[in-house]
Homo-oligomer: A and B are copies of this chain.
Amino acid sequence: MAREVAVADLVDRARDRQPRAVARLISLVEDASPRLREVAAALAPFTGRAQVIGLTGAPGVGKSTTTSALVSAYRAQGKRVGVLAVDPSSPFSGGALLGDRVRMQEHATDPGVFIRSMATRGHLGGMAWATPQALRVLDAAGFDVVLVETVGVGQSEVDVVALADSTLVLLAPGMGDGIQAAKAGILEIADVFLVNKADRDGADTTVRELKYMISLGRREIRGPRWRQPIVKTVAAREEGIIDVVDAISAHRDWLVEHGELEHRRALRARTEIEAIAVEAVRARLGHLHGGDTLDRLAKAVMAGELDPYTAADTLIAGVGRD
């Protein structure tokens, strides 16, 4: 009973713009605390308002610097800004290794800004699971804009796209050729491209290569489509950042006009529910009969007596009975 009061109180205080309450709520959802469900239920009525902007790119392109510059730009518009810096490679969270977050510190004393590092390595279900819940906290706490920043490799990138209304993909000159760009799969996921460090040699080449790659991809797509703009920035000097904000704004207008914002958010909700359900089932599979069933099946597979698909069937049948 005391706990229920505490969660409702935390949500009240978070909505009253108290950063400690926000931080506490994120910890509760991130650590999969027993109060997680209670928190989720308490937040639900207040969600769905924040504009969510994803930001991704290879290591070294200047993601943190750009995020920090965007925070300044949105603050200048009077908006409250939340930042979730998702690190898929780190098992540490909440500030343990913030070496590259140093630039964010200029915002540390601004009550209109809330910054949180999230580690997803080793987390069951990774980012797909924990980040949407933290996003819900910031959304319910009344942040107008939430920037979700993650390194652009593999699943984390796919996950950030699933979360965001608009996704920014950062490149920098000399970070790799066209093949690298295609490999990273960035063409499909970007709503706005940033060529950061545009004062360096090769920036125009990067823009040209990117345009060429985009033109190749476009041929395969039918019907009306958002034309991904390419914005040159020097985030460390805040150059080009207003153009980025304008591009994001134009993209959001386009989404609304084409009914895509609703579509993306429905997809986000589906993905979120599914991720939670899958993790719940996974937990059940792993702990079935104290893990004995799975151990026994694993031994049979190791011995070549059973193939893993038949083993999985047996495991699932166990969940149904349990």
Contacts and interface: CB of A to CB of B under 8 A. Distances in A.
Interface string A262-299: 00011001101110111011100110000000110111
A99 interface: yes
Nearest to A176: B59
A269 B294 CA distance: 9
Contacts of A88: 153-155
Given A155-B154, A185-B90, A298 B269 contact: yes
A40 B307 contact: yes
Contact of A302 (B48, B183, B297): B48
Interface in A176-196: 176-177, 179-180, 182-185, 188
Interface string A80-98: 0000000111110000010
Tier of interface size on chain A: 35 or more
A41 B310 contact: yes
Interface stretch (A239-247, A250-258, A312-320): A312-320
A50 to B, nearest CB: 13
A90 B183 contact: yes
Q: Nearest 5 CB-CB pairs, A to B? A: A88-B154, A269-B298, A276-B312, A40-B307, A277-B312
